A and B are shown apart, each in its own frame.
Chain A
Amino acid sequence: MTVTRPSDLDGALAGLAEGGALARAGGTDLTACVAEGVLPGGPVVDLTGVAGMSGTDRRDDGSVRVGALTTVTELAEGPLLAGSYPALARTARGLATPQVRGTATLGGNLLQRNRCWYLRNPAFDCHQSGGSSCPARTGDHLYGVVVDQGPCVAPHPSSLAAALAAYDASIEVAGRGSSRSVPVAELYDGTDPTRDHVLDPAEVVVSVALPAPVPGERGAYLRATGRSRAEWPLVEVVVRLACEDRGSGPVASAAVAVGGVARTPLRLPGVEDALAGSVPGGGLSPAVVAALEGLADLCSPLPGTRYKVALLSSTVRAGLLRALGAEEG
C-alpha cells in the first residue's frame, strides 16, 4: 500500500483519480475499515498536508468556514465555534472518545462508513460490499433504522452530519476540474443501499460553510445509549433554539435534527414549528408535546427497532428540555 502526501488540492485530486485510491484524513475510520475488509486496501492519498483544508475563519457575510481537516476536538473546544455554534460544539464533545476526537476530522466524520455489524463482519455480503441483499434486515438489526428509507437498514453514523443539518450547513466539495457546494442534507441518499454518502471516491470535502451565527442561540446535543459514554447512539438529537432577547426570550425559530434513526440525518420540521414561542426555563407547550407524539407517524420500524419509536420521541423531548434549560428532575 503506497501513501502519497500531496501538499495542495490539485495534487490530492490527481492522486485520487487513480482507481481504488483512498482519501485519508485522520484515518480512524479508514484504518479500521481496511483492517475489517469493509474497504479494499489501495493507494492512500493522505490529505493532512493539503493547504487550505484546515482552520476556522469568519467571512465578511458573517458565515464561518471550517476546514475539513479540523479535528473533532477542535470543533468541540475552538472558542469561535463554542461561542457561536453551541449545538455543533456540544455534538463534537459528545461523540466517540477523547483519543478518537483528537485525531478524527470533520470531513472524515461526514464521510465515514456505517457501523452495521454485518458490514463489518467478513462472513457476510451486503449491498454495501457488492452483495445483493441486506442480511441485517432479515437478521438481527437491534441498532437499525426506525425510519425505513430503503434496502439498507444501517443508521447514518455521523453525529456531526446531524448537527450540520440543524445549521443548514453546506459542504464545499472539490473534484477534478470542478468544485461545488452541497447542502449537507444532499450529501446522503437514504434510498441508495450501496454507499453511505453520494460523493465520488475521487472527490474531496474541503470545508464546511456555516451560515452566520444567530445571536443568543441555545444549543443542545443528547444521545440515548446504554452506557454513559463512548457508545454509538441508539437515537441522538441536536437542538438549536434562536431565542429573542439574546437567548432569554421566547423561541423565534428552532432547528431539530436527529440521528440513529434513518440512513440519513433527519430534520423534524413539525417539532421545529411547534417550538416557536416556547420559553427558556419553561416546560414543553401542548403544541410541542403533540408534535413529539406525532413523531411516531414518521416511523416505519423494523421488527427489532420498534423500541426506537418511543425512544425517538423521548430523546427529542430530553434534548428540547436541555436546550430550554428545563431538565426534568
Chain B
Amino acid sequence: MDLEVNGSPSAAPAEGEETAAAYIRDRLGLTGTKTACGTGVCGACTVLVDGSPTVSCLLPADRLAGRSVTTVEGLGGSHPVQRAFAAHDGLQCGYCTPGFVVEAAAFTDAWRAEHGDVRPDREAIADALAGHLCRCGAYEGIFAAVAAACAGDFDGDPGQDPPRADAPDKVTGRARFTVDHTPRGCWEGVIVRSTVAHARVRSIDAGGARTQAEPGTAPVLVDLLGSDRTVRYAGQPIAAVAAPTAARARAAAEAVRVDYEVLPAALDPATALEPDAPVLYPTRAERRAAPTYAEGVALPSAWNGNLRGPFTLGWRGGTAVRRLRAAERSGDPRLVTREYTTSAQLHTALEPHACVADWDDGHLTLHVSTQAVSETADTVAGRWGLPRERVRVVTEYVGGGFGAKGILSTETVAAVELSRIAGAPVRVALTRAEELTDAGYRPATRTRVALLADQRGDLAAMSVDSHGYGGVSHGSMTAVLAALMYGRTPRRTRDYDVVTHHPPGSPFRAPGGPPMAFALEQAVDEMAERLGEDPLSLRRRWDGNTRRAALYEKVAALPLWTARPRGERTGRFRRGVGLAASNWLFIVSPRSQVELVVENGVIVVRSATQDIGTGIRTVLRDVVAERLGTPADALRVEIGDSASVHGAGATGSRSTNSMGPAAAEAADALRVALRERSDRVPAEGPVPEVGLKEALAAAEGVRVVGGRPLDRWERMSSLLAGGGDMAMGRGLIGGVHVMEVEVDTLLGRVRPRRCWAGIAAGRIYAERLARNQCEGAVVQGVGYALFEGRRDDPATGAVLTANMEDYRIPGPGDVPETEVYFHEEGFEHVPGGGVGLGEVSTVGVAAALANAVHDATGWRPTDLPIRPDRLLEGLR
C-alpha cells in the first residue's frame, strides 16, 4: 500500500528494520526531518502521521503504508508557526527546529480551533512541547513564537526580515547539516571501540575486511590505535571499518576481533591515587602524549603517578596561606571553608560528530560538523601532508557544538583514512551512544575554597584548590580562574588533575568557569551570611571589576532582587533568590578575514568561519550592510567553506569580536574600490541605491579582503592556541545572574522560576541573537545545576548515561523566564566595541541557582547536580 508524503503519493517502504525516520531521510531524501536521540526522547524526528505528531525514530517504516505524512518540508514555509519561530528567533543551530516546528504547527492549529486566537500560557506550551529538547536552549524564543502564532500574529507575512539571516532555511528544513550530506556512492563507516577499560591490544583480526587500497566493494578497515597499542578506557576507538551500506558496515564491525591483554584499571579518583594503583602514563613519553581537555595548551605541571599538578597561581600566596592557617587555628568566625563537587557534563549536541571524507586525485574534501572550519583544514593538511589548497573543509550548518567540535576528532580521522583505502567517499557519524560516551565532556571537579575576611569585612585571604577528573585527559583550569576574581588581596590557587581509565574530557563552554563559580560564589554568599551582610552589597564592596559594578547597580534596583522573600521560609514550596558573578577572558582570532566579492551585481560576503547557532551569518550581513548603508538584500553571505579566507573558530567566545571588525574593514575596502568606479558612492555614510547599483555593475568581479585590526593602545597578548589563532585581549568580560527558584521540599524538585542575566560584553552586534545565546546559556546552566551528570559503571568504566533518557538535559518546562540585560560600555578599545558573550553568560548560572536554593531552604548544595535525592537528604 502506498502512502502520501507532503501531499504526493510515495512508494511504500520495504519491509525491514528501517524506521520511518530512516525511510523519510534516506529513501525520500527529505532531510529536514532530523534524528538525534534515536529513542523518542528529543523529538527532532517529529513528523505528522495522519495529522498527529509522531516520533519517526520509533515508528517502523512499514507502518507508514496507507498513511498521510507531513514533514517540515510539507508545511511550506509560510505556516504561522514557521514565521513566528523566525520572527521571535525560536532557534539557534537549527537542528531541533524542524521537529519543534512540526509539533508546534499541529498544536497551534488545534489550539486555535478549540480556543480561538488566544495566547496559551507557558505551562500549556510546555505541555505541548514536552517531547522536544533544544540543546542550544532557545526556549524563550520558542515560547514567544508559539504564543504569538496561536494569537494569530503571524497569519500574514510579517513584512520584515527575521533577526537571524538563516532562520528561513532553518524553519523549513532547507538548512543542510553534515549528516544530511550523502554524496553518490558514499560508503558508511563504523568505529570499533574497546570493550574494556585498560588493556594491551595484542592483535586486531580484521574479520575479512581489507586494509589496503585495492578495487572492489569489500569492506575496509583502518587501525586507529596509537603506537603504544594500549587502550585506556572502555569505548576508546581501536579501528574503523567501512562498507557500501550501513548494514554491511555494522556487520563488518561485528566481525572484527580484538585480542586484549586485560590490565587492571583505575576507575575512580580515590583508588587512582592509591600507592598500588595502575599508573596510566608511567613514562615521560606517555605523559607528554596524554590528551588534554584544556582549550589550547594545558598549564604546565608535574606528574606524580596519576596525579598531575599542582599548577599554582596567585598573588602573595604564602601570605594568604599563613593568614588562613592562623584563622583556622584561632577559630576565626570570618573564615569560610567548604568543599564542592560537580559532575561530568556532556555537550549533547543534537547533531552528532560526523564527517564525509572524499579523496579525489590527491585532493581531499571533507564535510565535517565542526566549530572550526579553517583550523580543521589547517590541521588536516598538516596531518596528511597535503598542501593546504588541496584540502577543502565544508560545513554549511552545525547542529550544536558547545566546545566538543573544536578539534580534529575520531570520526574525521576515521573517514579520511577509510576513504583513502575504499576509493570512495566515506561517511562516519557517531551514534548517540558514542556521542555520549566518547565525544568529550566538561570534567567533574572537586574544589575546596577558603575565604577569610578581616575586621572591616574586607577580603583578607583566599585559597582555592581544585581537582579535575577528565578521565585519561588532563587540563584543569578551574581554581586559576578564581585568581582573577575579587581584587588583588593575597590568594593562592592550585589546579590538579587525577587521571583515570575513563574517556577524555574536552573544552565545554567556559572551561573551568561554572565549577569555579559554583564553589567561589557560594563561598562569597556564605561569607555574606557570616558577616550579616546582603550578598549584593558584599560583592559591590569586594568586586573591583567596573563593568560588573554597573551590573550590580542594576540588580540593586531590580524587583526580582529587592522584593525577594526574606527570613525563614516554611511550608512545602519555598521560594528563594540567589545571585552570582561571572567572569571570562576576552579572546580574539587575529587571523580572521572576510572577503567581499561582487558577483552579478550582489556583494557576496565570504569567510571560512561557521555557524553553530551563534548567528555569525547575521553578524557578517549586518556589519557590511550597516557599514555601507546598503539594504541587506544587496548582500549574500557564504560561510563554512575553507576555500575562502581564514575565519575564526567558534570557540573561546571569539567569532563575533573577530569576524565583525574584519567585515567592517572589508566593507571599507569595498567602498574605496566602488568609489573608483562610481562617483555616486560617497566617502562615508550610506551608499544611495542608484549609486550602489551603478557601482556594483561596474565592479563585477572585484574582490577585497578585510582583516581583524588590532585593539587600540596595545598589541594583544601572546598567542594561546587554536592553530595560532587565539590571543587574549585586554579587559575581562563580566556577568551577573539573579535566579529565583521554588523548591518543593516534599518531592525534592527545584523549579527555576525567573532569571535576570546581566552581561557586560561591550557593544552588542545583533541584539536578539545575543539575547538568545544568553538565554540558552541559562538553560545549559540550569541543566548543569539540576539534572546533568554522566554516570559510569564502577566495575567496568562503561558509560551508563549513553542515551538521552538517562542523560537528562532541560526541556521547555524546566527553564526560568529569563530577562537579559546588556551593559554595552567598557570595550571602547576594541574595534567594533564588542567582545564575546557565549561563555561568560553561563559561568555563574549554577552558582546563582545554588545560592537561591540555599536562600529558600537554608541548606547549601555542595554537589552538582542538585537531584531530588540529594536535596531531600540535605533537608532531612
Contact = CB atoms under 8 A, between A and B. Distances in A.
Which of the listed residues A1, A100, A123, A329 has the most CB atoms from chain B within 10 Å of its own CB? A123
Contacts of B749: 224-226, 228
Which of the listed residues A99, A142, A234, A308 has the most CB atoms from chain B within 10 Å of its own CB? A99
B805 A1 contact: no
A96 B63 CA distance: 21
Given A228-B811, A230-B41, A311-B748, A100 B58 contact: yes
Contact of B814 (A120, A228, A318): A228
A311 B573 contact: no
Given A41-B17, A228-B126, A32 B58 contact: yes
Interface in B839-871: 865, 867-869
Contacts of B16: 1
A154 B789 CA distance: 20
Interface in A15-47: 24, 27-28, 31-32, 34-36, 41, 44, 46
Interface in A63-104: 96-100, 102-103
A28 B811 contact: no
Interface in B363-378: none
Contacts of A315: 747
Interface string A282-308: 000000000000000000000000011
Interface in B43-75: 43, 46, 52-55, 57-60, 62-63
Contacts of B791: 117, 140, 142
Q: How large is the interface on B (under 10, 10 to 19, 20 to 34, 35 or more residues)?
A: 35 or more
Contacts of A102: 52-54
Contacts of B573: 328-329
A178 interface: no
B269 to A, nearest CB: 16
A195 interface: no
A118 interface: yes
Interface in B772-818: 786-787, 791-796, 798, 800-803, 805-806, 808, 810-811, 813-814
A310 B54 contact: no
A41 B17 CA distance: 8
Contacts of A121: 433, 798, 800, 802
Contact of A99 (B17, B38, B53, B748): B53
B17 A34 contact: yes
B568 interface: no
A102 B110 CA distance: 15
B740 to A, nearest CB: 16
B110 to A, nearest CB: 11
A14 interface: no
Contacts of A142: 791, 869
Contacts of B813: 227-229
Contacts of B103: 98-99
Given A1-B15, A102-B52, A224-B748, A97 B131 contact: yes
Contacts of A225: 749, 868
B39 interface: yes
Which of the listed residues B58, B791, B814 has the most CB atoms from chain A within 10 Å of its own CB? B58
A234 B794 CA distance: 21
Nearest to B813: A228
B224 interface: no
Contacts of B746: 314, 317-318, 328
Contact of A140 (B15, B60, B792, B872): B792
B747 A224 contact: yes
Interface string B548-573: 00000000000000000000000111
B130 interface: yes
Contacts of B41: 97, 230
Contacts of A100: 40, 55, 58, 131
B62 A46 contact: yes
Nearest to B37: A32
B684 to A, nearest CB: 54
A198 interface: no
A253 B518 CA distance: 50
A282 to B, nearest CB: 16
A236 B128 CA distance: 22
Contacts of A329: 571-573
B801 A117 contact: yes
A229 B127 contact: yes
Contacts of A98: 53, 103, 127-128, 130-131
Nearest to A32: B39
A313 B29 CA distance: 52
Contacts of B794: 139-140
A315 to B, nearest CB: 6
B666 interface: no
B502 to A, nearest CB: 14
A3 B869 contact: no
A186 interface: no
B130 A27 contact: no
A78 to B, nearest CB: 15
B234 interface: yes
B195 interface: yes
A246 interface: no
B543 to A, nearest CB: 33
B872 A311 contact: yes
A31 B516 CA distance: 42
A140 B267 CA distance: 13
A32 B801 CA distance: 16
Given A226-B786, A227-B787, A3 B62 contact: yes
A309 to B, nearest CB: 10
A98 B808 CA distance: 18
Interface in A127-171: 135, 138-140, 142
A164 B58 CA distance: 26
Contacts of B17: 1, 34, 41
Given A102-B52, A123-B234, A328-B572, A224 B800 contact: no
Contacts of A231: 808
B747 A230 contact: no
Given A31-B58, A102-B52, A139-B795, A115 B805 contact: yes
Contact of B59 (A1, A3, A31, A308): A31
Contacts of A310: 872, 876
A220 to B, nearest CB: 14
A140 B572 contact: no
B873 interface: yes
A32 B804 CA distance: 13
A272 B572 CA distance: 23
A318 B573 CA distance: 12
A317 B572 CA distance: 12
Contacts of B796: 123-124
Q: Ordered nearest first, which 3 A-B pairs have the shortest CB separation?
A: A97-B131, A307-B869, A328-B572
Given A35-B38, A99-B54, A227-B811, 19 more contacts: A3-B15, A3-B62, A28-B58, A32-B40, A99-B103, A99-B131, A102-B53, A120-B803, A123-B234, A123-B798, A140-B792, A225-B749, A227-B810, A229-B127, A231-B808, A307-B868, A311-B869, A314-B747, A317-B746
8 contacts: A41-B17, A118-B793, A121-B433, A139-B795, A226-B808, A227-B811, A228-B751, A329-B571
Interface of A: 1-3, 24, 27-28, 31-32, 34-36, 41, 44, 46, 48, 96-100, 102-103, 115, 117-118, 120-121, 123-124, 135, 138-140, 142, 224-232, 234, 307-308, 310-311, 314-315, 317-318, 328-329
Interface of B: 15-17, 19, 38-41, 43, 46, 52-55, 57-60, 62-63, 103, 126-128, 130-131, 195, 234, 433, 571-573, 746-749, 751, 786-787, 791-796, 798, 800-803, 805-806, 808, 810-811, 813-814, 865, 867-869, 872-873, 876
